[in-house]
Amino acid sequence: MTAAIEVRGLVKHYDTVEAVRGIDLTIEESEVFALLGPNGAGKTTTVEILEGHRRRTDGTVSVLGLDPERGGRDLRERIGIVLQSAGIEPELTVREALRTYAALYTRPRGVDEVIELVGLDDKADARIKHLSGGQQRRLDLGLGLIGDPELIFLDEPTTGFDPSARRRAWALVSSLRSLGRTILLTTHYMDEAQALADRVAVIAAGRILAEGPPGALTGPEGELSTTIRFRLPPDVGLEDLPGRFADAAVAVDGGVEVTTGQPTTMLHALTSWAMQRDLELEQLTVTRPNLEEVYLALTARAESDRG
Protein backbone atom coordinates (compact mmCIF):
# COMPACT_ATOMS: atom_id res chain seq x y z
CA MET A 1 0.00 0.00 0.00
CA THR A 2 1.38 3.38 -0.92
CA ALA A 3 1.00 6.40 1.29
CA ALA A 4 -1.63 8.96 0.33
CA ILE A 5 0.75 11.80 1.09
CA GLU A 6 4.53 11.61 1.20
CA VAL A 7 6.56 14.72 2.02
CA ARG A 8 10.35 14.85 2.37
CA GLY A 9 12.40 17.89 3.34
CA LEU A 10 9.70 20.40 2.41
CA VAL A 11 10.91 24.02 2.49
CA LYS A 12 9.01 27.17 1.57
CA HIS A 13 10.43 30.69 1.57
CA TYR A 14 8.45 33.86 1.02
CA ASP A 15 11.07 36.44 0.09
CA THR A 16 13.22 36.30 3.19
CA VAL A 17 10.74 34.59 5.52
CA GLU A 18 11.09 30.84 5.95
CA ALA A 19 7.50 29.70 6.42
CA VAL A 20 8.31 26.00 6.26
CA ARG A 21 11.75 24.76 7.20
CA GLY A 22 12.15 21.11 6.43
CA ILE A 23 9.04 19.03 7.00
CA ASP A 24 8.73 15.26 6.59
CA LEU A 25 5.27 13.71 6.62
CA THR A 26 3.76 10.39 5.70
CA ILE A 27 -0.01 10.05 5.70
CA GLU A 28 -1.40 6.63 4.95
CA GLU A 29 -4.52 5.89 2.97
CA SER A 30 -7.75 6.02 4.99
CA GLU A 31 -6.02 7.90 7.76
CA VAL A 32 -7.28 11.04 9.46
CA PHE A 33 -4.26 13.21 10.11
CA ALA A 34 -4.33 16.53 11.97
CA LEU A 35 -1.77 19.31 11.72
CA LEU A 36 -1.83 21.29 14.94
CA GLY A 37 -0.09 24.56 15.44
CA PRO A 38 -0.42 28.24 16.29
CA ASN A 39 -1.31 30.78 13.61
CA GLY A 40 1.63 31.35 11.32
CA ALA A 41 3.22 28.01 12.20
CA GLY A 42 3.25 26.93 8.56
CA LYS A 43 0.14 24.71 8.61
CA THR A 44 -1.73 26.46 5.85
CA THR A 45 1.39 26.93 3.74
CA THR A 46 2.12 23.21 3.98
CA VAL A 47 -1.43 22.22 3.13
CA GLU A 48 -1.62 24.67 0.22
CA ILE A 49 1.57 23.20 -1.23
CA LEU A 50 -0.01 19.74 -1.04
CA GLU A 51 -3.17 21.09 -2.72
CA GLY A 52 -1.14 22.57 -5.58
CA HIS A 53 -1.95 26.17 -4.68
CA ARG A 54 1.68 27.01 -3.84
CA ARG A 55 5.03 26.10 -5.31
CA ARG A 56 7.56 24.73 -2.89
CA THR A 57 11.05 26.10 -2.53
CA ASP A 58 12.62 22.70 -1.91
CA GLY A 59 11.83 19.10 -1.05
CA THR A 60 9.80 16.32 -2.62
CA VAL A 61 6.03 15.99 -2.38
CA SER A 62 3.79 13.20 -3.56
CA VAL A 63 0.00 13.37 -3.23
CA LEU A 64 -1.86 10.24 -4.37
CA GLY A 65 1.30 9.39 -6.24
CA LEU A 66 1.39 12.68 -8.13
CA ASP A 67 3.42 15.86 -7.74
CA PRO A 68 0.83 18.54 -6.89
CA GLU A 69 2.73 21.12 -8.95
CA ARG A 70 2.21 18.99 -12.06
CA GLY A 71 -0.75 16.81 -11.11
CA GLY A 72 -3.21 19.12 -12.85
CA ARG A 73 -6.66 17.82 -13.63
CA ASP A 74 -5.85 14.20 -12.80
CA LEU A 75 -4.99 15.08 -9.24
CA ARG A 76 -7.83 17.57 -8.80
CA GLU A 77 -10.43 15.00 -9.81
CA ARG A 78 -9.35 12.99 -6.78
CA ILE A 79 -8.93 15.61 -4.06
CA GLY A 80 -11.40 17.84 -2.27
CA ILE A 81 -10.29 21.14 -0.78
CA VAL A 82 -11.97 23.10 1.97
CA LEU A 83 -9.99 26.30 2.15
CA GLN A 84 -9.74 28.49 5.20
CA SER A 85 -11.32 31.40 3.41
CA ALA A 86 -12.89 31.06 0.01
CA GLY A 87 -16.04 32.82 -1.00
CA ILE A 88 -18.75 31.73 -3.31
CA GLU A 89 -21.07 33.81 -5.44
CA PRO A 90 -23.53 35.25 -2.91
CA GLU A 91 -26.36 35.45 -5.44
CA LEU A 92 -26.55 31.69 -6.03
CA THR A 93 -28.57 29.28 -3.94
CA VAL A 94 -26.96 26.41 -2.06
CA ARG A 95 -28.29 23.90 -4.56
CA GLU A 96 -27.15 25.93 -7.57
CA ALA A 97 -23.65 26.29 -6.16
CA LEU A 98 -23.34 22.58 -5.49
CA ARG A 99 -24.76 21.75 -8.90
CA THR A 100 -22.32 24.13 -10.56
CA TYR A 101 -19.33 22.56 -8.86
CA ALA A 102 -20.62 19.01 -9.33
CA ALA A 103 -20.54 19.56 -13.08
CA LEU A 104 -16.78 20.17 -12.93
CA TYR A 105 -16.06 16.59 -11.88
CA THR A 106 -16.29 13.34 -13.80
CA ARG A 107 -17.94 11.36 -11.04
CA PRO A 108 -19.51 13.74 -8.55
CA ARG A 109 -21.60 12.86 -5.57
CA GLY A 110 -25.30 13.60 -5.79
CA VAL A 111 -26.21 17.19 -4.97
CA ASP A 112 -29.07 16.21 -2.67
CA GLU A 113 -26.89 13.67 -0.92
CA VAL A 114 -24.27 16.32 -0.15
CA ILE A 115 -26.88 18.82 0.99
CA GLU A 116 -28.12 16.24 3.47
CA LEU A 117 -24.60 15.24 4.46
CA VAL A 118 -23.73 18.78 5.57
CA GLY A 119 -27.15 19.40 7.06
CA LEU A 120 -28.35 22.21 4.80
CA ASP A 121 -31.65 20.53 3.81
CA ASP A 122 -33.80 23.43 4.91
CA LYS A 123 -31.47 26.00 3.28
CA ALA A 124 -31.05 24.23 -0.06
CA ASP A 125 -32.88 26.91 -2.02
CA ALA A 126 -31.74 29.91 0.02
CA ARG A 127 -29.38 32.44 -1.54
CA ILE A 128 -25.88 32.05 -0.14
CA LYS A 129 -25.83 35.68 0.98
CA HIS A 130 -28.63 34.85 3.41
CA LEU A 131 -26.74 32.02 5.13
CA SER A 132 -25.09 32.44 8.52
CA GLY A 133 -21.32 32.13 8.79
CA GLY A 134 -21.57 28.59 10.10
CA GLN A 135 -23.98 27.60 7.31
CA GLN A 136 -21.64 29.04 4.68
CA ARG A 137 -18.83 27.01 6.22
CA ARG A 138 -20.98 23.91 5.92
CA LEU A 139 -21.53 24.74 2.27
CA ASP A 140 -17.73 25.04 1.97
CA LEU A 141 -17.51 21.55 3.35
CA GLY A 142 -20.14 20.36 0.88
CA LEU A 143 -18.26 21.93 -2.05
CA GLY A 144 -15.12 20.11 -0.90
CA LEU A 145 -16.99 16.79 -0.98
CA ILE A 146 -19.01 17.24 -4.16
CA GLY A 147 -16.35 15.65 -6.37
CA ASP A 148 -16.41 12.52 -4.19
CA PRO A 149 -12.68 12.85 -3.45
CA GLU A 150 -10.35 10.13 -2.16
CA LEU A 151 -8.34 12.68 -0.23
CA ILE A 152 -9.86 15.66 1.54
CA PHE A 153 -8.05 18.72 2.82
CA LEU A 154 -9.84 20.54 5.62
CA ASP A 155 -8.19 23.79 6.63
CA GLU A 156 -9.64 24.75 10.01
CA PRO A 157 -13.01 23.29 9.06
CA THR A 158 -14.95 24.17 12.20
CA THR A 159 -13.66 27.64 13.03
CA GLY A 160 -16.72 29.75 13.79
CA PHE A 161 -19.04 26.78 14.36
CA ASP A 162 -21.33 26.61 17.35
CA PRO A 163 -20.87 23.49 19.49
CA SER A 164 -23.66 21.49 17.88
CA ALA A 165 -22.48 22.32 14.36
CA ARG A 166 -18.99 21.20 15.39
CA ARG A 167 -20.33 17.88 16.62
CA ARG A 168 -22.13 17.40 13.31
CA ALA A 169 -18.97 18.24 11.37
CA TRP A 170 -17.05 15.76 13.47
CA ALA A 171 -19.65 13.09 12.79
CA LEU A 172 -19.31 13.90 9.09
CA VAL A 173 -15.53 13.50 9.20
CA SER A 174 -15.92 10.21 11.04
CA SER A 175 -18.34 8.93 8.42
CA LEU A 176 -15.92 9.93 5.66
CA ARG A 177 -13.21 8.03 7.45
CA SER A 178 -15.40 4.96 7.65
CA LEU A 179 -15.86 5.22 3.87
CA GLY A 180 -12.08 4.89 3.56
CA ARG A 181 -11.34 8.51 2.67
CA THR A 182 -8.03 10.02 3.67
CA ILE A 183 -8.34 13.33 5.50
CA LEU A 184 -5.73 15.93 6.29
CA LEU A 185 -7.06 18.59 8.58
CA THR A 186 -5.52 21.58 10.27
CA THR A 187 -6.93 22.89 13.49
CA HIS A 188 -6.04 24.70 16.62
CA TYR A 189 -8.69 22.98 18.65
CA MET A 190 -7.15 20.21 20.75
CA ASP A 191 -10.45 18.46 21.34
CA GLU A 192 -11.02 18.37 17.59
CA ALA A 193 -7.67 16.68 16.96
CA GLN A 194 -8.27 14.35 19.87
CA ALA A 195 -11.73 13.40 18.65
CA LEU A 196 -11.01 12.99 14.96
CA ALA A 197 -7.40 12.24 14.21
CA ASP A 198 -5.65 8.90 14.04
CA ARG A 199 -2.39 10.78 14.19
CA VAL A 200 -1.42 14.38 14.81
CA ALA A 201 1.67 16.43 14.15
CA VAL A 202 2.42 19.56 16.13
CA ILE A 203 3.96 22.19 13.93
CA ALA A 204 5.45 25.51 14.98
CA ALA A 205 7.84 27.94 13.33
CA GLY A 206 7.84 25.81 10.18
CA ARG A 207 8.97 22.55 11.78
CA ILE A 208 7.28 19.45 13.07
CA LEU A 209 7.91 19.21 16.80
CA ALA A 210 6.15 15.97 17.58
CA GLU A 211 4.07 13.40 15.76
CA GLY A 212 1.98 10.42 16.80
CA PRO A 213 -1.46 9.29 17.92
CA PRO A 214 -3.10 12.11 19.89
CA GLY A 215 -3.05 10.13 23.13
CA ALA A 216 0.60 9.18 22.88
CA LEU A 217 2.25 12.46 22.03
CA THR A 218 5.11 13.38 24.32
CA GLY A 219 6.37 16.77 25.32
CA PRO A 220 9.82 18.23 24.98
CA GLU A 221 12.34 16.06 26.78
CA GLY A 222 12.39 16.47 30.52
CA GLU A 223 9.72 19.13 30.58
CA LEU A 224 6.49 17.27 30.60
CA SER A 225 6.49 14.12 32.58
CA THR A 226 4.11 11.65 34.03
CA THR A 227 2.40 12.63 37.26
CA ILE A 228 1.85 10.13 40.08
CA ARG A 229 -0.75 11.19 42.66
CA PHE A 230 -1.76 9.46 45.90
CA ARG A 231 -2.79 10.05 49.49
CA LEU A 232 -0.70 9.00 52.47
CA PRO A 233 -2.32 7.63 55.60
CA PRO A 234 -2.66 10.34 58.28
CA ASP A 235 0.22 9.04 60.39
CA VAL A 236 2.71 8.97 57.50
CA GLY A 237 4.47 12.13 56.34
CA LEU A 238 6.37 13.18 53.21
CA GLU A 239 9.64 12.70 55.08
CA ASP A 240 8.85 8.98 55.46
CA LEU A 241 8.91 8.38 51.70
CA PRO A 242 11.97 6.66 50.20
CA GLY A 243 15.01 8.82 49.55
CA ARG A 244 14.46 9.29 45.85
CA PHE A 245 11.11 10.97 46.55
CA ALA A 246 12.65 13.58 48.80
CA ASP A 247 13.04 16.16 46.02
CA ALA A 248 10.22 15.10 43.74
CA ALA A 249 7.23 14.79 46.06
CA VAL A 250 5.04 17.80 46.76
CA ALA A 251 2.04 18.03 49.03
CA VAL A 252 -1.01 19.10 47.07
CA ASP A 253 -4.56 19.32 48.37
CA GLY A 254 -4.01 16.85 51.16
CA GLY A 255 -2.37 14.42 48.74
CA VAL A 256 1.05 13.94 47.27
CA GLU A 257 2.07 14.65 43.72
CA VAL A 258 5.23 13.34 42.09
CA THR A 259 6.28 14.45 38.65
CA THR A 260 8.79 12.21 37.00
CA GLY A 261 10.44 11.28 33.78
CA GLN A 262 10.81 7.66 34.94
CA PRO A 263 7.33 6.65 35.96
CA THR A 264 8.02 2.88 36.03
CA THR A 265 10.98 3.08 38.38
CA MET A 266 9.32 5.59 40.63
CA LEU A 267 6.07 3.68 40.78
CA HIS A 268 7.93 0.48 41.57
CA ALA A 269 9.87 2.15 44.37
CA LEU A 270 6.71 3.68 45.75
CA THR A 271 4.61 0.54 45.74
CA SER A 272 7.44 -1.64 47.19
CA TRP A 273 7.85 0.86 49.93
CA ALA A 274 4.14 0.86 50.67
CA MET A 275 3.87 -2.94 50.63
CA GLN A 276 6.81 -3.33 52.98
CA ARG A 277 5.03 -1.10 55.44
CA ASP A 278 1.65 -2.54 54.68
CA LEU A 279 0.28 0.84 53.71
CA GLU A 280 -2.60 1.43 51.38
CA LEU A 281 -2.04 4.45 49.10
CA GLU A 282 -5.48 5.82 48.47
CA GLN A 283 -6.46 7.42 45.20
CA LEU A 284 -3.28 6.31 43.48
CA THR A 285 -3.28 7.59 39.89
CA VAL A 286 -0.74 7.85 37.14
CA THR A 287 -1.47 10.43 34.44
CA ARG A 288 0.23 11.34 31.25
CA PRO A 289 0.07 14.96 30.15
CA ASN A 290 -2.95 15.53 27.88
CA LEU A 291 -2.67 16.71 24.29
CA GLU A 292 -3.24 20.31 25.21
CA GLU A 293 -0.46 20.34 27.79
CA VAL A 294 1.92 18.66 25.35
CA TYR A 295 0.92 21.13 22.64
CA LEU A 296 1.38 24.18 24.85
CA ALA A 297 4.75 23.00 26.12
CA LEU A 298 5.97 22.21 22.60
CA THR A 299 4.84 25.43 21.01
CA ALA A 300 6.04 27.56 23.93
CA ARG A 301 9.46 25.96 23.51
CA ALA A 302 9.44 26.70 19.78
CA GLU A 303 8.54 30.33 20.39
CA SER A 304 11.30 30.85 22.94
CA ASP A 305 13.84 29.09 20.70
CA ARG A 306 13.00 31.43 17.90
CA GLY A 307 12.81 34.58 20.00
Partner 1 sequence: MADHVPVPRLVWHLVRYHNRIFWRTPIAAFFTLVFPLMFLALFDLLFGGEIESGPASISVAQFFAPSLAVFAAATATYSNLAIGTAIARDQGTLKRIRGTPTPPWAYLASRVGSAIWVALLATVLMMAVGVVAYDVNVDVERVPAALLTFGVGVGAFSALGLALAALSPSGDTAPAIANATLLPLAFISNVFIPIEDPPRWLDVLATVFPLKHFVDAFQDAFNPFTADLAFRGGHLAVIAVWGLSGALVALATFRWEPRGGERAGLTRRRAGSHR
How far apart CA 36 and CA 186 sit, in angstroms, is 6
CB of 30 to partner 1, least distance (A): 20
Using CB under 8 A as the binding rule, whether residue 137 contacts partner 1 is answered as no
Q: Shortest distance, CB of residue 275 to partner 1, whole angstroms? A: 46
Q: Encode the chain in three state secondary structure.
A: CCCCEEEEEEEEEECCEEEEEEEEEEECCCCEEEEECCCCCCHHHHHHHHHCCCCCCEEEEEECCECCCCCHHHHHHHEEEECCCCCCCCCCEHHHHHHHHHCCCCCCCCHHHHHHHCCCHHHCCCEHHHCCHHHHHHHHHHHHHCCCCCEEEEECCCCCCCHHHHHHHHHHHHHHHHCCCEEEEEECCHHHHHHHCCEEEEEECCEEEEEECHHHCCCCCCCCCEEEEEECCCCCCHHHCCHHHCCCEEEECCEEEEEECCHHHHHHHHHHHHHHCCCCCEEEEEECCCHHHHHHHHHHHHHHHHC
* Cβ nearer to partner 1, comparing 44 with 260: 44
**Cα 244 from Cα 18, distance rounded (Å):** 45
CB atoms within 10 A of CB 9: 13
Do the beta carbons of residue 176 and residue 82 sit within 8 Å?
no
The mark string for 140-159 relative to partner 1 (x by CB under 8 A, - otherwise) is ---x---x------------
Output the smallest distance, CB 120 to partner 1, in A.
Answer: 17
User: C-beta of 27: minimal distance to partner 1 in Å?
Assistant: 18
Q: Which is nearer to partner 1, 188 or 229 (CB)?
A: 188
Question: Which residue lies nearer to partner 1 by CB, 143 or 228?
Answer: 143
In the complex, least distance from residue 300 CB atom to partner 1, rounded to whole angstroms: 10
Q: One symbol per residue from 24 to 53: x for binding partner 1 (CB under 8 A), - otherwise; what is it? A: --------------xxx-xxxx-----xxx
* Residue number, 26 or 100, with CB nearest to partner 1: 100
- Looking at beta carbons only, is 188 or 288 nearer to partner 1? 188
Q: How far is the CB of 26 from partner 1 (least distance, A)?
A: 23
Give least dist CB 263 to partner 1, A.
Answer: 30
Residues 68-127 that bind partner 1 (CB under 8 A): 72-74, 76-79, 81, 83, 85-89, 91-92, 96, 100-101, 103-106
* Interface size with partner 1, residues (CB under 8 A): 41
Residues 213-242 that bind partner 1 (CB under 8 A): none
Residues engaged in binding partner 1 (CB under 8 A)? 14, 17, 19, 38-40, 42-45, 51-54, 72-74, 76-79, 81, 83, 85-89, 91-92, 96, 100-101, 103-106, 143, 147, 188, 303
